[in-house]
Amino acid sequence: MQNKVVIIGSGPAGLTSALYTARANLGPLVIRGLQPGGLITTTNEVENFPGFPETVGGFELTERMRQQAERFGTRFLDELIIKADLSQRPFALTTDSGQTIMAESLVIATGASPRKLGIPGEERLANRGVSYCATCDGFFFRNKRVVVIGGGNSALDEGLFLTRFVSELILVHRRDELRADPILQERAFDNPKIRFVWNTVVTEILGEDKVMGVRLKSLKTGEESTLPTDGVYPYIGHIPNNVLFKGQIPIDESGYLVTDGRTRTPIPGVFAAGDVVDHVYRQAITAAGQGCMAGMEVIWFLDEQEHFAKKAKLQMPAIQKPRPIQHAAILQGA
Ligand code: NAP
């Protein structure tokens, strides 16, 4: 299947690229991947996306973006890309069903995934009390105690959402200062269900087939203790989803794809936008902005390719087989 534009990822970056390229009649194909709508669908309330004075849910926000892109002719495929061959154009993408998709241009908007703690018990107890998405399963912790790890916007945003259900929330942070926005800090400090444990890390998640507790270690005193809990939510940042592009596109030391500031990668026709490149802002609105940039770059790139192809077509016959002198003279004069 040959496509003018393929977009990998369906978060704000991918869907905005889709909107722009669809409105240019390029009929983009969006590969939605494992998490249609992207990571923001796990955010309960988005308060800082302009245009929604009463806040909007993360899922609703991207669903609206999807509908808007679809209205102008975007196509969607609910598959996962497992291989991307960017060695020549058109680029060849292989999906998990074995389908090959050819792309004259590509927008990489694969986003980022929650960073794991990498401690004993985390993998074993995933979905058995360890979760990375309060919006998805907070309900199951009704009247229970949960531990949230991290001091950024995600930890506080999701933590505040969890307080709708839980009886008590212990926020464990490795420093004695939060990095979350002041407005979220204020709400968390004012919330009677939230208790803070400072200068402390979780070293193990305890339990056999469900979470029973966590082992804590004070970074100030080195003292260890255990804390009974029913749930653990690590919110310690994200890692860019770059696996498909390793060895093909430059990646910085933190794992972000490197672009030139205009969303262009060193491979002509391949662009990248959103959380897979952005190590500074990482907001839905900046992802959407970069998605717009990538969409416009795609339009310009394909226009240029078409222009070159037309020019080559005009010149080719003259090079390949000599034309009658009269015709060649007209071409030269043109
Ligand atoms: P983040 O801002 O990078 O914060 C990660 C937190 O985890 C930090 O407090 C960090 O501690 C802690 N941490 C990192 N590694 C750790 C480890 N191994 N053990 C214990 N703690 C660890 O990540 P985020 O909160 O996921 O936010 C990511 C981006 O999304 C940010 O730009 C954020 O603004 C955005 N976001 C915005 C909203 C919103 O506006 N409502 C909501 C969610 C996310 P230190 O502070 O000591 O470094």
- Choosing from 85, 96, 136, 176, the catalytic residue is 136
Mean pLDDT of 242-257: 96
Q: How confident is the model at residue 322 (pLDDT cuts 50, 70, 90)?
A: very low
Does 278 contact ligand 1 (Cβ within 6 A)?
no
Q: What is the pLDDT of residues 14-28, one digit of tens each?
A: 999 999 999 999 999
Does 282 contact ligand 1 (Cβ within 6 A)?
yes
Q: Which atom of ligand 1 is nearest to the CA of 150?
A: 7
Q: What is the pLDDT of residues 99-142, one digit of tens each?
A: 999 999 999 999 999 999 999 999 999 989 999 988 878 999 99
- Contact of 276 with 110, CB cutoff 8 Å: yes
Mean pLDDT of 71-82: 97
Where do runs of H (alpha helix) occur along the chain?
Answer: 12-23, 58-71, 134-137, 153-162, 182-190, 284-320, 325-333
Burial of 208 (0-12, 13-18, 19+ CB in 10 A): exposed
**What is residue 317's predicted lDDT score, i.e. its pLDDT?**
57
Q: How confident is the model at residue 333 (pLDDT cuts 50, 70, 90)?
A: very low
**pLDDT of 323 higher than 60:** no
Q: What is the pLDDT of residues 185-205, one digit of tens each?
A: 999 999 999 999 999 999 999
Does 172 contact ligand 1 (Cβ within 6 A)?
no
Q: What is the pLDDT of residues 141-190, one digit of tens each?
A: 999 999 999 999 999 999 999 999 999 999 999 999 999 999 999 999 99
Threshold 0.85, pTM exceeds: no
Q: What single DSSP character describes residue 40?
A: G
**Mutation choice for ligand 1 from 42, 55, 133, 154, CB with most ligand atoms inside 8 A:** 154
Contacts of 320 (CB under 8 A, 6+ apart): none
